[in-house]
Structure 1
Amino acid sequence: MHTLYLDAFSGISGDMFIGALLDLGIDFEEFKRELAKINVSGYDLENEKILKSSIFGTSFDVHMHHGEKDHGFVENHVHHHNHDVRHLADILKIIDDSDLKDAIKEQASDVFTEIAKAEAVVHHVEISEIHFHEVGALDSIVDIVGCFVALDLLNVDKVISSTLTDGSGFIDVAHGRMPVPVPAVMQMRVGSQIPIKQDASIHTELITPTGMGIVKNIVSEFSEIPSELTVEKIGYGFGKRETGGFNALRVLLLEKKN
């Protein structure tokens, strides 16, 4: 088993996390076979080795066959046909009905529930009223489940992280203008001791609700790299936002010194 260290100098999102783990050397075909156990269709996975600032890393993305990627929950007062949206319960059923390992099902369901709880508080609705676009929900299912599939393939049993870094200012979303950290990310700090520092030179979000949900679920401590561990491999997962800086999540696979 291994310890994973998250060097989150530019925040974290689901695709950055998966990209970084793939960059450590996961067999992409095996990763796709495991994800296929969700038993859903309508997407393709992209795994591309790219160069940024003379550093090679991996860009991971989920491409939907129809519709748009996940843009968060759909407000209850907006009229949608039933086939256009998925409730949290629908998403949890898809995960539970899959052929994935029970531990992966449990962790992915916990992250979805954590995000939905935060959104429900922020938008002052019951958690049962939280809706996600059907296509967007599929994107998030693949993203979140993929994180735990990748951890399992790497035999990671412990995750440590640096302090998380977020941007600053405001971002424009479907519901209007939101402060950074975005409200769902800030809400997930309630009841936790997750340290976040803001970079005033970056005027956009660096920590997504998915990224925060993953951190809250898997990270057991926030610290420097433990002195009793040595670095075995390093991976970089690139983000999609143009931040004006080096937008990547760096992960270190650690093992005990001999």
Structure 2
Amino acid sequence: MGTIAYLDCPTGIAGDMCLGALVNAGVPLEYLQDIVHKLGLDREVKLWTESVYRGGIQATKLHVELLNYVGNEPPTVAATDSHEHSHDHTHSHSHDHDAHNHGEHSHSHDHHHEVNTHKVHRHLPDIEKIIRNAKLSAQVEKWSLAIFKELAIAEGSVHGIAPEAVHFHEVGAIDAIVDIVCTCAGFAWLEVEKIYCSALPAGGGYVNCDHGKMPVPAPATLKLWELHGVTTFDNGIRKELVTPTGAAIAVTLSEKFGKVPLMKIKKVGLGAGSQDLEIPNALRLWVGKSKSKDKKKD
């Protein structure tokens, strides 16, 4: 059978956590940096990783470093999407997924859904043009465009405007483009045909964004869950655990949410969030072969 993947998200999901898990599962960092080059962003973005411990468990923390960054936050995106998630949006990305700081990446997620790092507001057509001009594989392009489309639909619904009119704060930020496209490229490198996802933790508390203080889940995240009937649960952590970018990746690429599919596991990749939480802050990517119930053991 074909290769499938399961996103096990006990402490949520954000773009940098996905990338860390993919690299930990064997996707070469050089391959992802080449994707950045194809996007025409290699003079602005550098990817690097480090081995960290979350709750005593070793995982890979991927950093999206903005080389021409100007602002008050650190240039490392990983600090913001850190699930604190202060969301994805506007990522002032300093992805500090420490707690996910999603900012988007700050899984605290520390997200500071702040205004985007470069204060560049792009519309969906602008982002689609960047992706189409990158000469990516057909599958990577299809997945990437679909994720941004879902995000635009959710944001547009929240703000009462057409998807094409949405100003992507964090989403339009360079790091968000890198997160989404490189995540799709990573799954393609692993030759994953189908993706499944666990139920997602609701999180709690509040995050700051361009529109002020917002309750967690962030409006766009909650809208994505509503539109796709996502299964959620409460893990007791009162932080932003799922960023809009992470939610968009999950709802777009996943076949369904919930139980682990019948599979023969070949490898597991752990992508760290930025902060230490009560539960090891890492997304666990299970990669393996699909198994049908009537198949004999290989």
After TM superposition, where is structure 1 displaced by more than 6 Å over at least 4 residues in a row? none
In 1, Cα distance between the equivalents of 2:170 and 2:243? 20
Deviates more, 1:142-151 or 1:21-30: 21-30
Which of 79, 84, 93 is the equivalent residue of 2:129? 93
User: In structure 2, do the counterparts of structure 1 residues 132 and 194 end up closer, same or farther at CA, with 3 Å as the change threshold?
Assistant: closer
Deviates more, 1:218-227 or 1:101-110: 218-227
Partner of 2:52: 50
Relative to the length of structure 2, the TM-score reads 0.76
Q: Does 1:236 align with 2:267?
A: no
Q: Show CA shifts across 1:132-188 (max 9, x none).
A: 359952111111001111001111001112211131232233322211111101111
* Contact kept? 2:196, 2:261, Cα under 8 Å: no
In 2, Cα distance between the equivalents of 1:133 and 1:67? 16
User: In structure 2, do the counterparts of structure 1 residues 117 and 168 end up closer, same or farther at CA, with 3 Å as the change threshold?
Assistant: same
Partner of 1:17: 18
* Contact kept? 2:156, 2:163, Cα under 8 Å: yes
Aligned length: 248
In 2, Cα distance between the equivalents of 1:174 and 1:135? 13
* Contact kept? 1:16, 1:249, Cα under 8 Å: yes
Q: Does 1:206 align with 2:248?
A: no
Q: Does 1:67 align with 2:101?
A: no
In 1, Cα distance between the equivalents of 2:241 and 2:183? 18
In 1, Cα distance between the equivalents of 2:169 and 2:195? 31
Q: Show CA shifts across 1:98-147 (max 9, x none).
A: 12112211211111111122112212233333223599521111110011
Residue 93 of structure 1 and its aligned partner are, at CA, apart by: 0.4
Secondary structure (helix, strand or coil) at the match of 2:227 reads: coil
Which of 216, 220, 223 is the equivalent residue of 2:255? 220
Which of 98, 102, 118 is the equivalent residue of 2:138? 102
Relative to the length of structure 1, the TM-score reads 0.87
In 2, Cα distance between the equivalents of 1:108 and 1:121? 20
Counterpart code for 2:50? E
In 1, Cα distance between the equivalents of 2:206 and 2:163? 26
Q: Does 1:249 align with 2:250?
A: no
In 1, Cα distance between the equivalents of 2:170 and 2:121? 4
In 1, Cα distance between the equivalents of 2:121 and 2:207? 24
The structure whose RCO (Cα within 8 Å, separation 6+) is larger is 1
Structure 1: unaligned runs, 5 residues or longer: 75-82
Q: Where is the helix percentage greater, Structure 1 or Structure 2?
A: 1
Q: Show CA shifts across 1:63-112 (max 9, x none).
A: 112236586269xxxxxxxx943221111101111121122112111111
Structure 2: unaligned runs, 5 residues or longer: 72-76, 81-87, 92-118, 292-296
Structural RMSD (CA): 2.3
User: In structure 2, do the counterparts of structure 1 residues 52 and 105 end up closer, same or farther at CA, with 3 Å as the change threshold?
Assistant: same
In 1, Cα distance between the equivalents of 2:282 and 2:127? 28
Residue 254 of structure 1 and its aligned partner are, at CA, apart by: 1.7
Secondary structure (helix, strand or coil) at the match of 2:48 reads: strand
Partner of 2:7: 6
The 5 Å alignment of 1:156-171 reads: 156-171=192-207
Residue 244 of structure 1 and its aligned partner are, at CA, apart by: 4.1
